[in-house]
Amino acid sequence: MTETVERTGAAFRLSERALRRTLGVNYLCCQFGKFSLMPVLAVMLARGSGGSASAAGFDMFAFLMCVGLSSLLISRWLPRLPYAVSMAAGMVCSGAGFGTLAFTDRPVSVLLALCLAGFGNSVHGVLVRVLVAESLTAESARNTVYGILQIATNAAAALGPFIAGVLYVAGDNRSLLAFVGIAYLAAAVSLLVGLPFGLRPPRTLRRIDGVRARMRTLRDPQCLRALALTAVGAFAYGQFYSAFALFVALAVEPAMLRAVLLGGPPILIVLFQSGVTALTNRRLRAGMAPQELLAIAVAAFGSGIVLLGVGLPVVAGAALAVAVFAFAEMLFGPMVSIAFNRLTNVSPITSSNFQGISLTTGEALGSLSGGAVFLACYHHGAGDWYWLALGAATLAGAGLHFARARITPERPEEGH
């Protein structure tokens, strides 16, 4: 295979090296746009709505749901365009949606702008997973690409709050939103330059999976385990930026230490993701199933949560939990995508949508629980019991997978 693309008849195929480079640059740009805005988006929305926390919360919920689910609305049309066009269009939609926030504070306009931004992110995310699945057959190769995307995402997550702090001054959002818009436009350009226009989803993807095909897949034990593990892991992950952030704010006094604890996972992932990727690649090549590694990630999330409730000194327990959470996330992110790539009874677009649904549902419910239930428990002196109960439930979810996997082993990947 050549360094960039090879052509067979009318079909183009991107090389692994070119795919890594293009998607790595693309993710770095678009995630810088996203994570430079997310730390202050709720504050920005509340200020624009006259201080209404409920309006800001509804807007954030609508945005997150659109990120996870809105591409379902156009699934039948996504395979008809070149990857470069549809993915770049998604980035332009996101940039335009966020950029519009600089020119309006009307509730309906703000909601529509956020939905447009979420829609662009959703289309882009689905097609990235389809492109990786269709371009690479070996799971270790896919894992390497997903690891690179994880590093790019967390590099942006680590630096984004500092960019927000510099550009969002005294409630003036224009400089920050201009930066966000430019970042998304740069992400679109990276795709138009890095992906050949002859690179299209296979014609077989134009077959629309009907309701019966989707229901058959949902009854498949492999699909059910992937959905369940992803939802449980996402629920646990959702605790970090809700319950854990509240716990740190309430129990840790020095502001610098709070910042270190909350900023720890992205930094650890940037530093150690490559090593974890190399380790998981060895396990995949040795025949370990992706869902087994996914279950280990879920168990790690559960272990990190339990550490917060066993009575360790606050800072020591929080620091240990951060380290375990970071390791779990290094496993969880790539393995979710690889586990759903194995679903062969439906098209990659449908399996990618299943992935988005389970991630969005789990994380949204986890954030809701972490923001509401944890606070109620904490103020009634039962904060430790919240962590212990949630950690035990998460560990039980992982253990249930291992028990069921012995009864119905996962099918090996074809050509693996």
Q: What backbone phi and psi angles, to 5 degrees, belong to 91?
A: -65, -40
Determine the Cα–Cα distance for residues 40 and 30; give it in Å rounded to an integer: 17
Is residue 96 a contact partner of residue 377, using CB atoms and an 8 Å limit? Answer: no
pLDDT digits (tens, 9 = 90+) for 271-327: 999 999 999 999 999 999 999 999 999 999 999 999 999 989 999 999 999 999 999
Residue 414, SS3 per DSSP = coil
Contact partners, residue 277, CB within 8 Å, separation at least 6 = 143, 144, 147, 330, 334
Reading the block at residue 128, the tokens are 């990235």
- For residue 132, give Cα distances in angstroms to 248, 311, 320, 371, 400: 37, 44, 34, 35, 30
Mean pLDDT of 240-255: 85
Q: Whole-model pTM?
A: 0.85
Determine the Cα–Cα distance for residues 338 and 409; give it in Å rounded to an integer: 17
Is residue 41 a contact partner of residue 168, using CB atoms and an 8 Å limit? Answer: no
Model confidence at 412: pLDDT above 60: no
Residue 381, SS3 per DSSP = coil
User: What is the predicted pLDDT for the residue at 378?
Assistant: 87
Is residue 191 a contact partner of residue 24, using CB atoms and an 8 Å limit? Answer: no
Range in 104-108, 159-163, 205-209 the model is least confident about: 205-209
Determine the Cα–Cα distance for residues 53 and 64; give it in Å rounded to an integer: 16
Higher per-residue confidence, 58 vs 208: 58
Residue 276, SS3 per DSSP = helix
Say which amino acid occupies 32: F
Say which amino acid occupies 191: L
Model confidence at 214: pLDDT above 70: no
pLDDT digits (tens, 9 = 90+) for 359-371: 988 988 888 888 7
User: What is the predicted pLDDT for the residue at 416?
Assistant: 38
Q: What backbone phi and psi angles, to 5 degrees, belong to 310?
A: -95, 10
Determine the Cα–Cα distance for residues 80 and 326; give it in Å rounded to an integer: 38
Determine the Cα–Cα distance for residues 398 and 295; give it in Å rounded to an integer: 5
Q: How confident is the model at residue 23 (pLDDT cuts 50, 70, 90)?
A: very high
Which residue is listed with tokens 């079909």? 11
> Which of 76-80, 131-135, 160-164, 184-188 has maximum average pLDDT?
184-188
User: What is the predicted pLDDT for the residue at 1?
Assistant: 38
Ramachandran bin of 287, using left for φ above 0, alpha for ψ from -120 to 50, beta for the remaining angles = left
